[in-house]
Amino acid sequence: MDIILDDNKRYTYADYLTWLDDKRRELINGFVSLMTPAPARLHQKVSGSIFNKLYNFLSNKNCEVYSAPFDVRLPKNGNKTDDKIYDVVQPDITVVCDPEKLDDKGCIGAPDLIVEILSPSTRKRDLTDKYELYEQSGVKEYWIARPGEKTIQKFVLNKDMKYEFKGTFTEDTTISPDIFPDLQIDISSVFK
């Protein structure tokens, strides 16, 4: 049975938990965004490649990596009760290094690294809405992978809590998370 939601109403994570159907949704500032049922094959290939490289690197470290669907709740003003959380996203890849932020429902609070793989249906949300949300929420590092262009853009939170553009990484380069400078990811291997 389809759940009918009001596009003009703001919802909370408590509401979100009651939507027991097979649709994937995100909340940004309380407004619902439906996610595509199944991403394209290339999207999945790129996501899997980046995930595997992070997973292998982090296997003996105190950080964990997750792939979508994985709920990331971004509370405002430190209020972590379900009925006060208006931002719930399912990034393509999430890295969390603080075990206190992990619970059975996913992550509560800003992850250390988020990777979104751009697709035509998520372009505006990833480049604008999520960029602003991740910056305001204190996500330390945000990568935007562009399969069509075979590039990854890297943004890192500066001391003023604003994203600083660190470059567009192309097939003939490597990218490293600022939080893990020892990890070198060959861009050509991500998009092959």
Decide if 29 is inside a domain. Answer: no
Number of domains in the chain: 1
What does the pLDDT read at residue 135?
98
Decide if 122 is inside a domain. Answer: yes
Would the pLDDT of 1 be above 70? Answer: no
**CATH number of the domain within which 172 lies:** 3.90.1570.10
Mean pLDDT of the chain: 93
Decide if 25 is inside a domain. Answer: no
Please write the tens of the pLDDT for every residue from 76-115.
988 899 999 999 999 999 999 999 999 999 999 999 999 9
Structural domain for 93, as ranges: 41-70+89-190
CA distance 130 to 26: 11
Would the pLDDT of 22 be above 70? Answer: yes
Would the pLDDT of 33 be above 90? Answer: no
What contacts 64, CB < 8 A, 6 or more positions away?
58, 95, 96, 97, 102
Percent of residues, the chain, with pLDDT higher than 90 = 77
For residue 4, give the amino acid letter.
I
Decide if 36 is inside a domain. Answer: no
Decide if 48 is inside a domain. Answer: yes
Decide if 47 is inside a domain. Answer: yes
